Amino acid sequence: MNLKIIKYKLLIAVMTMMLVQCERFELNRILKVRTDSITNITAVTARAKATIIDAGPKKIISHGHCWSLSPYPTLEDTSHDLGQASSPGSYTTDLTGLQPLTTYYIRAYAFNESDTVYGEPESFSTIKDTSSVVPHQTPTLITYSADSIGQTTAVSGGNITDEGDDPVIARGVCWSLVPIPYIETALDSTSNGTGSGSYRSKITGLSPGNTYYVRAYARNKYGTSYGNMISFTTPQDTTHPAVLTGAVTAVTSNSATCGGNVTDEGGSSVTARGICLGFQPDLRLENARDTISGGDGTGTFTCYLTNLISDTLYYVRAFATNASGTAYGALENFRTDPVTEPEILVDIEGNEYQTVIIGDQVWMAENLRTTKYADGTALISGSGDISGNYNSRYYFTYNDNALLAEDYGRLYTWAAVMKGATAIDANPSGVQGVCPDGWHVPSDSEWKQLESFLGMSLSDLSLWNWRGTDQGTRLKEGGNSGFEATMGGHRRCTGGYQNMGSYGNYWSTTDDGGTSAYYRQVGDLESKVYRYAYEKCYGLSVRCIKDED
């Protein structure tokens, strides 16, 4: 069969598999919320925080907190509704009307059209009410809707209808790119004198094409009160690009994926685009913790966020730059997962292996070195010329030196790896083969999933030879993926060993329909990843993947 036709059919099969996997991933997503800290506790009030960890596959109709005197409050108890949500992120609820010296239980909640989920319950106790009279009152006020909205300015304000139990000493508005701004965390605020009544506030320093959230505030000596929250969106600058921020996905303890879409280049060509990442809601290129390039021009792009800190709140937004300046997409936020202790894998001979989570996969972080299958059946120690022998289940130790197996693992023929299983390119492969119980040999498609998570483009995934950009560097020992590819070399069919310390070669369960099977190679001096096929009588290294739960 013509090689071009084979490549074409392989490309169609891979793309179909990826589409099926993407659809299955989306359908398998579930709505998740977490109850976070309870702060600012007084005799009658408190502030509760929570996080939407995963927005699930359907639109969130409502989210918020519910609380009661029982350990597991539900929506049938007292609750505060914050309305719809479209993406993961943190939120805050101010609890009022509590009783002094009382223990309350609170849970975060969210529901869509089919599911209602709760976070784990947290408890807190209100403090003693030390006043002998009605608590002192802070001001009561409303926020005016915004008008005169321009690309960088707008006008809002407020109306103080009651000063409370002492005169108002400060008033104005505060605003942010995230809902429910407070003076302490807002991008900025105005100062509009003292006293009661209505006032107008000019909001400045805005950026085109962004949604801002505003609340009026007023302070007397007993505290600060806020009016209702309003929002508005500044018009796009037609000379600047128009860019949208994509959803944050594939969040782990140290990585995530985000992207964007440049829908309009503006008055000149987009020369740079990507994602900026940081810790503050006024995120821009100049104060970003990191900037990840997404190329140039219009259209969608994907960026991989790595080297993140575990259990930490991050802000991200897409950007696009042309000759007129830089435009930004909407601000998104996410929290990385807490660090979990790496699982130690033990094979039937008692060999222990470090493991690593990379995206949605759990990989061995060391080369396999067993001489037995998980059922106790022994493999055969191979030797000599085995050219043309594609069925014998041989293992080899480099240069027949058993001391090297501890650091470099052992080498296996493809028949030994597969243990009689038929070649397959499914994801997951379902072939336990030479792997310990609960683990399996990766298919070519599973290697592609790993490479894709590390940033290899779709167009490169199905190519032969050296592909990608820096994925090989990230897979090597000391790379930032944790894969720690060991350069175990290989054994030729005719006998003899080569390239220990220079190249690592890893089998897959996928073959070419004949006497060769696909493998991956990582080179000590190479930044890319090599994909090709070796004769099945070669001896190569093995890395196993944990079965799906």
Specify the CATH number of the domain 242-335. Answer: 2.60.40.10
The answer to whether residue 335 scores a pLDDT higher than 60 is: yes
Q: How many degrees, rounded to 5, is the angle at CA 143 between CA 137 and CA 148?
A: 155
Domain range annotation of the chain: 31-125, 140-233, 242-335, 344-546
- Is the domain 31-125 a CATH 1.20.1250.20 member? no
pTM: 0.49
Question: Which tens digit of pLDDT belongs to each residue from 482-536?
Answer: 899 999 999 999 999 999 999 999 999 999 999 999 999 999 999 999 999 999 9
Per-residue buried b or exposed e for 200-228, using 16+ beta carbons within 10 Å of the residue's own CB: ebebeebbbbbebbbbbbbbbeeebbbbe
Tens digits of residue pLDDT in 383-420: 999 999 999 999 999 999 999 999 999 999 999 999 99
Triad 391, 396, 401: Cα angle to 5°: 165
- Residues 245-301 have pLDDT tens digits of 999 998 888 889 999 999 999 889 999 999 999 988 889 999 999 999 999 999 999
Radius of gyration of the chain (CA): 29
pLDDT above 60 (res 549): yes
- Beta strands 197-203 and 188-189: pairing type? unpaired
- Strands 223-233 and 211-220 turn out to be antiparallel
Q: Tell me the DSSP string of 418-444.
A: HTTPPP---SS----TTSPTTEEPPPH
> Are the folds of 140-233 and 242-335 the same?
yes
CATH number of 140-233: 2.60.40.10
Is residue 383 exposed (0-12), middle (13-18) or buried (19+ Cβ within 10 Å)?
A: exposed
Per-residue pLDDT tens for 120-138? 999 999 998 866 555 689 9
Which 3 state secondary structure label does DSSP give 398? Answer: helix
DSSP 98: P
pLDDT tens figures, 93-115: 999 989 998 999 999 999 888 88
What pLDDT, in 10s, does the model give residues 352-383? 999 998 888 999 999 999 999 999 999 999 99
